[in-house]
Structure 1
Amino acid sequence: MCGLVCLWNIDDAALARRMIDRIAHRGPDETGIHSLPGIPAVMAHCRLSIIGTENGSQPIPGEGALLAVNGEIYNHRALRAALGPARFATDSDSEVILHLFADGAPTWIAEPDGMFAFVLATPERVVAGRDPLGIKPLFMARIGDGLAFASELKAFDGLGLDTIAAIEPGTLFDSRHGVRRWFRMPQGAADLRGDEDPEPLWRELRLVLEAAVRKWLVADVEVGSFLSGGLDSSIVAAIAAQSLDRPLKTFSVGMADSPDLVAARAVARHIGAEHHELVFTAEDLAEILPHVIYHLESADTDLVRSALPTHFATTLARRHVKAVLTGEGADELFAGYSYHHAYRNRHRQLADEITRSLGTMHNINLQRVDRITMAQGLEARTPFLDRDLIAFAQSIPASLKMKADSEADGGSTEKWILRKACEDLLPPALLWRKKAQFDEGSGTVEALQTALSGLLGTAPPVDRNSEGRLYERILRERFEEPDFILANAGVWTGGRVAV
């Protein structure tokens, strides 16, 4: 995992250095700035070495082009074999993009499977692409007659730019041909057909899920797992633990004796993990708030709240590993949010809402996970957002995701088919544990009230408007051009499908 900068038709190595220094936290292992004769580009890259640790330095030259990548390509071995191993100069998974582009197949961009953002420059054009869900970020701005690309907004802070655009998830920008959308979210299914038996679906789901976790474990370094004690992270950790020949390192954080800590200990014992905990206080929250808001690049109240425990989980995990698995995406994919219960008998609408919300994750939860983990040079991996798993899960009827308990009680169980598929992995009390948001289960919400009261000098409770104003004030103090950051920050997207 890394950070990148590319200046196209801008011959300014000093500017590239300034920009990459702003995001150097993304890649603490190595920084490189490179250009090639005949290619009107300066590229900079800060590297967190995960695959090809010995010779995977970037930017990567070759095939008449220069390439910088942020992310992981999980099918790189298969692609390397198909492309011809003799063409490769490094062991980096990223190099496959260079050769796929050079071969010129019309749909080459659909070949890499993973999470990635990249910029590739040739003498005639610059090309930039992003993974299907936007797990990895990439921004583009015009500077004079040239283009500037970078992994985070803060790289552009202070440059006096008027406009900037995010390379959208699942799109490819080409300075010669414009923008094309190479990935479209599969439309979710609504109901079972007639008397169709759901058992084959949940059994196949289990196999697809196991394959996704194994795929996202690929690395030349040890991979651990965040473990909140909730369903999603517990399932990922349990499958990962079965896939390794060593104890899985798991990481849990919260206030002392918070529900998440208690549940995570039970899961860790059950799966035989090497478990680690970090307990934080209200004073800790107040202290790290400016750091979190700066790296989050947002003052959105809900994003900041969920970013705080993510920061502590990252702090803990980074002491032991360079990469972790997370449970992000399961709630969007399998109807895990409380508001999904309103769709109990509206399966077509629920299927449409799931499809919509998956397409907005890059601006909210995925932004939080990327920015906060990369702030400390930790790679976060999201196997629930594996492309094959998404395709299969979207074929599962929404009526099996939010499943009615019975006509008599009028209740419903979120993520029913996911629980059913993993019934043998966890004890029933853990598998059917009531969902809590990360900031709630970890105790962050209550402790944050104490922290905010101290910062504002008021008695609790602190209302959301006052909380939001404090976050914005902190953000404004940390950036040279805060209006630019706020105008381009990811925000929670409205427009939920009507019930």
Structure 2
Amino acid sequence: MIDKIAHRGPDAVQVAKLEGAPVIMAHSRLSIIGPDDGAQPIAQGSDMLIANGEIYNHADLRAILGEGAFKTASDSETILHLFRSGALRWIDRLDGMFAFVLATGDRIIAARDPLGIKPIYMARMGEGLAFASELKAFDGLGLTAIEAIPPGTLYDNRDGWRRWYRIPHGAAKAEPDVDGTARELRLVLEEAVAKWMVADVEVGSFLSGGLDSSIIAALAQKVLERSGKGPLKTFAVGTDGSPDLVAAKRVAEHIGSKHHEYVFTAGDVVENLPHIIYHLESADVDLVRSAIPTFFAARLARQHVKAVLTGEGADELFAGYTYHHAYVDDPRALADELTRSLGTMHNINLQRVDRITMAESLEGRTPFLDRKLIDFAQSIPAALKLCRTRPDAVASTGPTTEKWILRKACADLLPESLVWRKKAQFDEGSGTVAALQEALQTLTGERGEIGRAREGALYEEILRGCFVDPDLILANAGQWEADRVAA
């Protein structure tokens, strides 16, 4: 099992048995915090832990729990000591992205972060249980009843399932203090980016030239400047002359980052598509399309850094998708839809980011999904997220602007033309759609446009060729959901 997910952590692989209990744990490590002594599994007494992700408030937790209890510099060890503290809601004190399995002599606990940024699956193994970060770890083992542990949920073999986090519901009506809201949002954003840059290794940033990644990169550059470090390393990919490459270069020049770019071709797509689908663990057309530029960006970034910031989550928090425009005159429905879509991210965009970055042994970090930022963003009225160009304009006039309050909060960070640049899907702005059509024609030997049905069938065919038990993978694969709230 651990060999199949060794790409997630090439720095160290360790397998251990919990003394006196039928528990074996294995961990492949990508060392980000405490690189010298943070090997896992972490064992203390009759307890053992393996964890994936980052605990960003680990320094504060160490101070509270007592530094003397810790044996390593690893942020993951705080999970073990919080559990051992006996606090009723100990898991709620963890601030970060994580998935973990913790074992005692007679107990197994497995849990996942609030939004499901980090993955974890559970399967039946005879009368026992098996856990893994990716579905491929179970392939060919004949395991049954495989399921993803839901975001914000904890499984305890003694006490059963417990949902420990719920996404706060979005607000709808506008409030008078628009300027104050924008200023506070900016402060919360700055705090989130600084927190999610905590590491003992260099952290870079994806930069597509779109609003979300540009804001994150601009704020990250400021964090490094304040600490006397930098410049920030930024990474952009696209086909030759694609809008994303042009825009990303302009942003990089504006913020002063050390910029890297990679121009990919249809031939590159043909060569790497099986690798992408195998690691993505899905044949969903939209997921595969967006995974292609993510893969090239991850491969580029891993040549320079071990962790990158990404802009995922901004569209779900601030109404950034084209389909959101249908809600402009119904802020209550928009708030409901944003709340719903946040709850589905683990199966789509977050699965793509995790699988594709980790396939290249790169850690992807998503500051927009910081818990405090989620709480604040959900308290901002939906009428300020998607509105006519002026928030006080009457409903029947003016163009619709998505992520309006986010743009206002960060208007001084970037050139005006970029702050108000219309959103393009990652696979469109990067030129992936055109390159993919050419690649699909090469792979199928067919001429003319390859339709979605044929495209999806090809992806499934490729996926089936990658696994011993492809039905297991397909049954649990992430895919886009269409159960949107009616506007």
Q: Do both share a fold (TM > 0.5)?
A: yes
* Structure 1 position 39, deviation (Å): 2.6
Write the distance in 2 (CA, Å) between the matches of 1:426 and 1:460.
41
Amino acid of the structure 2 residue aligned with 1:223: V
Matched, 1:204 2:223: no
Give SS of 2:114's match: coil
Aligned to 1:221: 201
Quote the offset at 1:40 in angstroms: 2.1
Q: Which residue of 1 aligns with 2:405?
A: 417
**Residues 450 and 460 in structure 1, CA contact (< 8 A), matched pair in contact too:** no
Moved over 6 A (4+): none
The AA in structure 2 aligned to 1:115 is M
Whether contact under 8 Å (1:449, 1:460) holds in the other structure is no
Please tell me the residue identity of whatever aligns with 1:114.
Answer: G
SS at match of 2:19: coil
Alignment of 1:22-421 (within 5 A): 22-193=4-175, 196-244=176-224, 245-405=229-389, 406-407=393-394, 409-421=397-409
Residues 388 and 397 in structure 2, CA contact (< 8 A), matched pair in contact too: no
2-structure distance, mates of 1:432, 1:284: 32
Alpha-carbon separation, structure 1, partners of 2:82 and 2:158? 18
Q: What residue identity is the alignment partner of 1:184?
A: R
Counterpart secondary structure, 2:37? coil
Residues 277, 462 of structure 2: 8 Å contact kept: yes
Structure 1 position 110, deviation (Å): 0.3
Quick one: distance in 1 between partners of 2:46 and 2:373? Answer: 36
Contact 1:296 1:368 in 2 (8 A): yes
What's 1:6 paired with? none
Aligned mates of 2:22, 2:426 — CA distance in 1: 46
Cα shift readout 1:76-124 (whole Å, capped 9, x = no counterpart): 0000000000000000000000000001111000011000000000001
- Return the alpha-carbon distance in structure 2 between the equivalents of residues 153 and 89 of structure 1: 32
- C-alpha separation in 2, matches of 1:264 and 1:249: 12
Counterpart residue identity of residue 16, structure 2: H
Does structure 1 retain, via aligned residues, the 8 Å contact 2:125–2:144?
no
What do residues 395-433 of structure 1 show as CA deviations (whole Å, max 9, x unaligned)?
Answer: 000000001234464421000000000010001011111
Q: Is the Cα–Cα contact under 8 Å of residues 203 and 308 in structure 2 kept in the other structure? A: yes
- 2:435 equivalent to 1:447: yes
Alpha-carbon distance in 2 for matches of 1:63, 1:165: 30
- Matched position secondary structure for 1:478: coil
1:409-463 Cα distance to aligned partner (Å, 9 max, x none): 4421000000000010001011111100100000000110010011111113100
Find the aligned partners of 1:323 and 1:247 in 2 and give their Cα distance: 15
Work out whether residues 336 and 415 of structure 1, in 8 Å CA contact, stay in contact via their aligned partners in 2: yes
Amino acid at match of 1:205: L
CA-CA distance at 1:491 after TM superposition: 1.5
Cα distance in 1 between the residues matched to 2:285 and 2:21: 43
User: What is aligned with 2:476?
Assistant: 488
Q: Contact (CA 8 Å) 2:19, 2:46: kept in 1 or not?
A: no
Give the Å deviation of 1:252. 0.2
**Separation in 1 of the partners of 2:427 and 2:456?**
16
* Equivalent-residue separation in structure 2 for 1:316 and 1:212 (angstroms): 25
SS at match of 2:145: coil
Residues 245-304 of structure 1 show CA distances to partners (whole Å, capped at 9, x for unaligned) of: 210000000001100000000000000000000000001011100000000000000000
Alpha-carbon distance, 1:163 to partner: 1.8
Question: Quick one: which amino acid aligns to residue 439 of structure 1?
Answer: D
Cα distance in 1 between the residues matched to 2:58 and 2:20: 29
Distance 1:162 1:470 in 2: 27
For structure 1, which runs of at least 5 residues remain unmatched after alignment? 1-18
Asked if 2 retains the 8 angstrom alpha-carbon contact of 1:325 and 1:382, the reply is: yes
Instruction: Tell me the secondary structure at the aligned position of residue 465 of structure 2.
Output: helix
Structure 2 alignment gaps of length 5 or more: none
Helix, strand or coil for the counterpart of 1:320?
A: coil
CA distance in structure 1 between the aligned counterparts of 2:397 and 2:173, rounded to whole angstroms:
21
Letter paired with 2:203 = V
Residue aligning to 1:479: 467
Whole-Å separation in 2 of the counterparts to 1:478 and 1:320: 29
RMSD of the alignment, in Å?
0.8
Please state how far the C-alpha of 1:35 moved relative to its aligned partner. 1.3
Report the alpha carbon displacement of residue 221 of structure 1 after superposing the two structures with TM. 0.1
Distance in 1 (alpha carbons) for counterparts of 2:479 and 2:434: 24
Q: Secondary structure at the residue paired with 1:31?
A: strand
Give me the whole-angstrom Cα distance separating, in 2, the residues matched to 1:316 and 1:372.
12
Partner of 1:498: 486
Give the deviation of 1:204 after TM superposition. 0.1
> Given that residues 63 and 98 in structure 1 are in contact (C-alpha distance below 8 angstroms), is that contact kept between their aligned partners in structure 2?
no
Query: TM-score, normalized by length of structure 1?
Result: 0.95
Cα deviation for residue 63 of structure 1 reads 4.4
Answer whether contact 1:32 1:58 (CA < 8 A) is retained: yes
- Whole-angstrom distance in 2 between the partners of 1:377 and 1:478: 20
Q: Is the 8 A contact 1:39 1:65 kept in 2?
A: no
Number of residue pairs the alignment of both structures matches: 479
SS of the counterpart of 2:246?
helix
Whichever residue aligns with residue 183 of structure 1, its letter is Y
Secondary structure of 2:2's partner? helix
Residues 65, 81 of structure 2: 8 Å contact kept: yes
Distance in 1, matches of 2:215 and 2:239, equals: 23
